[in-house]
A and B are shown apart, each in its own frame.
Chain A
Amino acid sequence: MAAASSSDSDACGAESNEANSKWLDAHYDPMANIHTFSACLALADLHGDGEYKLVVGDLGPGGQQPRLKVLKGPLVMTESPLPALPAAAATFLMEQHEPRTPALALASGPCVYVYKNLRPYFKFSLPQLPPNPLEQDLWNQAKEDRIDPLTLKEMLESIRETAEEPLSIQSLRFLQLELSEMEAFVNQHKSNSIKRQTVITTMTTLKKNLADEDAVSCLVLGTENKELLVLDPEAFTILAKMSLPSVPVFLEVSGQFDVEFRLAAACRNGNIYILRRDSKHPKYCIELSAQPVGLIRVHKVLVVGSTQDSLHGFTHKGKKLWTVQMPAAILTMNLLEQHSRGLQAVMAGLANGEVRIYRDKALLNVIHTPDAVTSLCFGRYGREDNTLIMTTRGGGLIIKILKRTAVFVEGGSEVGPPPAQAMKLNVPRKTRLYVDQTLREREAGTAMHRAFQTDLYLLRLRAARAYLQALESSLSPLSTTAREPLKLHAVNTSTTRPVLGLLVCFLYNEALYSLPRAFFKVPLLVPGLNYPLETFVESLSNKGISDIIKVLVLREGQSAPLLSAHVNMPGSEGLAAA
């Protein structure tokens, strides 16, 4: 692994080996037991003491034990269980008051849990979706027992066929039931009001009215019912609602809510929709023809990673700028922002254990990690400004600090011929034997050719002879045509008497063969002449087995055969060929 990675990095030019790496290895714990996504990582000064903490919405091993973890330095500071899996974590300033400590928002299921000072502060639940009035009406009727379950089922079916909105779970469950269970189900559930609840799929923050670093921000939520919601930071009321053609997966926002903002949402249908402040519906649409795996805005460029192992750059109006091919599948992406040098770049964690950093399409740096990185986050951690936090597929945690002297230079890696050009071609060497043979052929080429031609003719002659002999001696009755009958020859060996009244009978396995004439009379046999008797045999089996056909010669009126012979049938050639 180490050898492979070092040779790789040499090839790339953007090295990351110990000596001239741009990164200091601050911490590596392969057993940190953190399983999460980039969306669930956040860095913030949660206590207002200038010491930045890492907030992790941890899914737990196998997504079984969701926990909220807060890390300080390499250690977990607090850890608390969560009711459901966290979909996203974000830190934001709720109000202008001092001390300006950011709140932590954690989206999970249909709710956003807001913490202040790491204490639960508020829980926002998505409003219930309005039920279909027809459906509501039906259940009301059921409540008053004015409708029988069967009619209810039919009516609900018809609603499902035609309505745009999906039915409530209660109705869907009901439609799945057998006739016998319906009655009980209706009685049990008829008093419940029907509900439709959606869940949060993604969350980000949007500055309210100031562009400052520490301005009050709104939460922007993406929901499973294809909507985007903007929440008021103080009152947690819904300020704006926008609808999308598909379910949002990643969000990227710029601007301020009260002034002007642009919202890019990568959706499950593989498209990215771009909305603006005054648009209720998408203004531009980028069709990727693959699923997006990450969406990052770098200055004015939207960088999208797709499942086709490539990074694409788009303008805010959806025009494609560039494409870079990755050596492996992209697992996660995040923004690298180095304030001191005004650098913004995209980090992409790849399945081959690399983290690549790109500014536009120029590769700046490659970091090799012992395991594939599944979540990434860059920013101020502890008291260090430029810290890179990575978690790996196996639950490991890697923390690296960017050296203060490090400058990312583009180029170097991309220009010049590929390394393979310098490799020598693997051309086989000539051997002594080859040289000798070549010389011999030059000297005696004509003789060799003649000898070869003669031998070839002899070979052909021999083959033909052998074939003929085989045919004559019936060693292996290879048929040359598809329709070749089974041939028998009858010869009367008596010198004087002709024979009359003989019969030929075939005995065979009827599962394997069929003969059109399994029993026939032999004509008068004049002594010394050869009488060919022919019959077709059809092979019925497709398993390529062959059997024996018995030929019996009988005299009319006698039950004991005069002669019997076994014909060994060959395997079907039609099958052998197929």
Chain B
Amino acid sequence: MALTVVPSFSVSGVWKRTQFPVSTESQKPRQKKAPEFPILEKQNWLIHLHYIRKDYEACKAVIKEQLQETQGLCEYAIYVQALIFRLEGNIQESLELFQTCAVLSPQSADNLKQVARSLFLLGKHKAAIEVYNEAAKLNQKDWEISHNLGVCYIYLKQFNKAQDQLHNALNLNRHDLTYIMLGKIHLLEGDLDKAIEVYKKAVEFSPENTELLTTLGLLYLQLGIYQKAFEHLGNALTYDPTNYKAILAAGSMMQTHGDFDVALTKYRVVACAVLESPPLWNNIGMCFFGKKKYVAAISCLKRANYLAPFDWKILYNLGLVHLTMQQYASAFHFLSAAINFQPKMGELYMLLAVALTNLEDTENAKRAYAEAVHLDKCNPLVNLNYAVLLYNPGEKKNALAQYQEMEKKVSLLKDNSSLEFDSEMVEMAQKLGAALQVGEALVWTKPVKDPKSKHQTTSTSKPASFQQPLGSNQALGQAMSSAAAYRTLPSGAGGTSQFTKPPSLPLEPEPAVESSPTETSE
């Protein structure tokens, strides 16, 4: 079995010197009975070169040859074979081979590290921790051991220990991955500020890591610090102009500011790279909505809905767009589907109520409003719409109650922020206030333009707003607006008209749509 390597180097010509210890020996006829053993590590370098080039087939061939020649004693060949097994997903086999390596050289921390890694991949975190601790005894100054111990503790939900180990790893040697894991712990614990601290340090250490930049940007976005969020997302995009997460987040920020065209050009990049992303098509749809291209908006949103049928935010947007298109029956279906997935959101019930009002189902509309008012705590629109609905058939008293509730919310919002209220909403509120004969509401700072005008007149004047072009296609736009024009409006239609306006409302969920997958992925 043992092949003797007889260096037959004297091929072409005469050697000028005579110092050939091995070759001279080989020229003598071999009298010894004992064959020489091949050098175990003879082809380790070749195995390694094939391995790092990811040429696994060639690598396996060399390993096989080497193992045959050395009768399975070549530790490195086994080691690389195990690495390849692991890459191919045969983790159990790789674990067994790494254990063989650990038997062949028990003093090597690396073998133990790989055993632990395979255990970790098999989900045996406790066993992995034990082996890592063994390895740590052999090599105390290895960041990788500390880092991986930290990751194991994360999976075991022992966040304190995980943090200790990760800090330990950072002290030994700083790596982006350790920062990411540390940030993740803080996020899992719900501590956004600490997570931001960690990611800030990480970005300082490695300013070109787009993943770090994007994550930091998204965290700022969640906290509402838009300036910094945009700065970091922008940086991420400079280094990697096709970064999916960063583009979506930056695009949704542009949308909130009404830069629909810029956002759309950015989305095109993503649309090429990630064809089937529900949040992307949702955002594109809402861009078109913002540009008043409702038909395009609907088709994009429907695609998003097709890709993610259980995402209530997409259903919400679909409902909203259909309300705008006066397709109340469709709107009703999308909204009720959204409510099935997200039963705790007041705005959804309000939109449902608007749809029901237009479908002349006042009873159910009232019930939906009641639920909306019950769930919602800060949106004055809910109360205003409810008040309008109640006012129309003459329930003045209840309408008044809702109106006052709305005023409370408005003053609360004014105290907290300098938010601009939608002018149409303000106008409607003033009209209703006048109709209810409440003293000119103190909360509105804007002067009242026409306090005497009746609420009913506003609702009849509303179709005018619908007669704006409805889509890029002129013919369709005209067809639809003319259809709207000679349609007899039910008396309760006033309620809907307030709803055509607040696209800012549905747009807000997008950052959340976007940031939620980034948190959960990894």
Contacts and interface: CB of A to CB of B under 8 A. Distances in A.
Interface stretch (B190-198, B327-335, B427-435, B443-451): B327-335
Contact of A173 (B17, B19, B73): B73
B483 interface: yes
Interface stretch (A46-54, A144-152, A191-199, A551-559): A191-199
B273 A123 contact: no
Nearest to B6: A83
Interface in A187-223: 188-189, 191-192, 197-202
B105 to A, nearest CB: 6
B79 to A, nearest CB: 10
Given A109-B5, A110-B39, A442 B483 contact: yes
A433 interface: no
A363 to B, nearest CB: 14
Interface in B196-210: 206, 208-209
A441 B12 contact: no
B39 A189 contact: no
Contacts of B265: 417, 421
A120 B15 contact: yes
B349 interface: no
Contacts of A176: 71-73
Given A81-B11, A198-B41, A189 B241 contact: no
B106 interface: yes
Given A442-B327, A446-B359, A289 B177 contact: yes
B158 interface: no
A109 B106 contact: no
B414 interface: no
A425 B267 contact: yes
Contacts of B137: none
B16 A442 contact: no
Contacts of A325: 240
B1 to A, nearest CB: 10
Contact of A164 (B107, B267, B271, B359): B107
A170 B62 CA distance: 23
A291 interface: yes
Given A292-B52, A443-B487, A449-B359, A417 B241 contact: yes
Nearest to A441: B327
Contact of A120 (B9, B303, B327, B473): B9
A307 interface: yes
Contact of B483 (A292, A322, A443): A443
B28 interface: no
A517 interface: no
Nearest to A224: B41
A385 to B, nearest CB: 30
A477 interface: no
A374 B267 CA distance: 38
Given A426-B271, A430-B295, A170 B37 contact: yes
A80 interface: yes
A449 B332 contact: yes
A435 B476 contact: yes
B46 A85 contact: yes
Chain A interface residue bracket vs B: 35 or more
Contacts of B7: 83-84, 109, 111
Contacts of B271: 420, 423, 425-426
Interface string A4-15: 000000000000
A224 B45 contact: yes
Contacts of B19: 122-123
A293 B479 CA distance: 65
Interface in B256-300: 264-269, 271-273, 284, 288, 295-296, 299-300
Contacts of B348: none
Contacts of A289: 144, 175, 177
B23 interface: yes
B269 A441 contact: no
Nearest to B73: A172
Contacts of B38: 169
A61 to B, nearest CB: 11
Nearest to A201: B45
Contacts of A162: 107
A467 B12 CA distance: 94
A183 to B, nearest CB: 14
A113 B17 CA distance: 13
B272 A160 contact: no
Interface string B309-334: 00000000000000001111110100
A438 B327 contact: yes
Contact of A331 (B40, B53, B361): B53
A169 B73 contact: yes
B358 A445 contact: yes
Contacts of B106: 160-161
A125 interface: yes
A173 B71 CA distance: 8
B278 to A, nearest CB: 15
A427 interface: yes
B8 A123 contact: no
Contacts of B10: 120
A510 B42 CA distance: 64
Contacts of A421: 265-266, 268-269
A109 B5 CA distance: 10
A287 interface: yes
A247 B48 CA distance: 10
A198 B39 CA distance: 7
B45 A249 contact: yes
A80 B48 CA distance: 26
Nearest to B16: A121
A425 B17 CA distance: 75
A163 to B, nearest CB: 8
Nearest to B65: A63
A462 interface: no
Contacts of A418: 241-242, 269
A435 B477 CA distance: 10
Given A123-B9, A420-B269, A438-B327, A191 B34 contact: yes
Contacts of B61: 62-63
Point out which of B15, B45, B271, B361 has the most chain A C-beta atoms below 10 A from its C-beta: B45
A293 B52 contact: yes
A540 interface: no
A74 B62 CA distance: 30
A527 interface: no
B484 interface: yes
Nearest to B49: A37
Interface in A478-521: none
A162 B471 CA distance: 80
Top 9 closest A-B pairs, CB basis?
A420-B272, A201-B45, A169-B37, A224-B41, A449-B329, A83-B7, A449-B359, A420-B269, A445-B329
Given A201-B45, A441-B328, A442-B487, 15 more contacts: A37-B49, A84-B7, A87-B46, A109-B5, A120-B12, A163-B107, A166-B105, A169-B38, A322-B208, A332-B53, A427-B300, A441-B329, A441-B330, A448-B329, A449-B328
10 contacts: A83-B6, A84-B7, A122-B19, A125-B21, A176-B72, A224-B41, A420-B272, A423-B271, A439-B483, A446-B329
